[in-house]
Chains A and B, each alone.
Chain A
């Protein structure tokens, strides 16, 4: 019940295309869903986060879509750029709780 599933494992997109990464969770107590971006040699850094009371949140080219009934959420990167090439992790937690559960990550490569 603590698991967060993430797909695909890797993704190759042309510059200007849309990158889509999907995650699914089981624990209905989760109420905070952040996405992290990680570049080689660096720690994960928060990209965008959503609470389940909204179905979509957009920040610049990055959008989270959330489907509470399906227990799924996804990250959409519009107009993908080579600088977006990184590993992306979805996560889930109980807000103000101690622990986050992370998905296994998606390695995104954006071709110039």
Chain B
């Protein structure tokens, strides 16, 4: 099925550990995004990518690393997880040549103990 898939859906880890959240889209959209969603803050942009091998920081990039070697994948890595990174993470994609909004995955709920 076409769409955007995030994995895992749920993850519990400990402070200091490295964790990678995966995002895969089947539309070949050039734009991809990572957001975190926290109560009272809505959706805050962590990183975005305009194309393979092109990434840029968003509003809250500290503590996160991204890569994009293939158009369809956009993994997000927390190199040394902290409790403040406990959140729900959403990946999104967009076709830059169409009047369309972003399409979101169903999120990864990450808990850092």
Q: Which residues of A pack against B, CB within 8 Å?
A: 6, 32, 34, 36, 41-46, 49, 89, 91, 95-96, 98-100, 102-105
Docked complex Cα distance between A55 and B103 (Å): 25
The answer on a CB contact under 8 Å between A43 and B106 is yes
Tell me what chain B mostly uses at the interface: helix, strand, loop, or mixed: strand
Q: Which residues of B contact A99 (CB under 8 A)?
A: 33, 45, 48, 58
Q: What residues of chain B have their CB less than 8 Å away from a CB belonging to chain A?
A: 31, 33, 35, 40-45, 48, 50, 58, 90, 92, 94, 96-97, 99, 101-107
Residue of A nearest to B41 (CB): A104
Q: Contact check: which of A32, A44, A46, A98 meets B31 at CB < 8 Å? A: A98
B101 touches A98 (CB 8 A): no
Taken together as a complex, chains A and B put the C-alpha atoms of A102 and B108 apart, in Å, by 19
Across the interface, A91 reaches (CB within 8 A) one of B31, B40, B58, B101, namely B101
**How far is A111 from B35 in the complex, measured between Cα atoms in Å?**
31
Tell me whether B42 and A32 are in contact (CB under 8 A). no
User: A96's closest neighbor in chain B, by CB?
Assistant: B96
Are B48 and A95 in contact (CB-based, < 8 A)?
A: no
Q: Which of A43, A89, A95, A96 has the most CB of B within 10 A?
A: A43
Q: Are B106 and A42 in contact (CB under 8 A)?
A: yes
What residues of A have a CB within 8 angstroms of the CB of B90 in the complex? 43-44
* Chain B, residue nearest A90 (CB): B42
A32 contacts B99, C-beta separation under 8 Å? yes
A98 to B48, CA, bound (A): 8
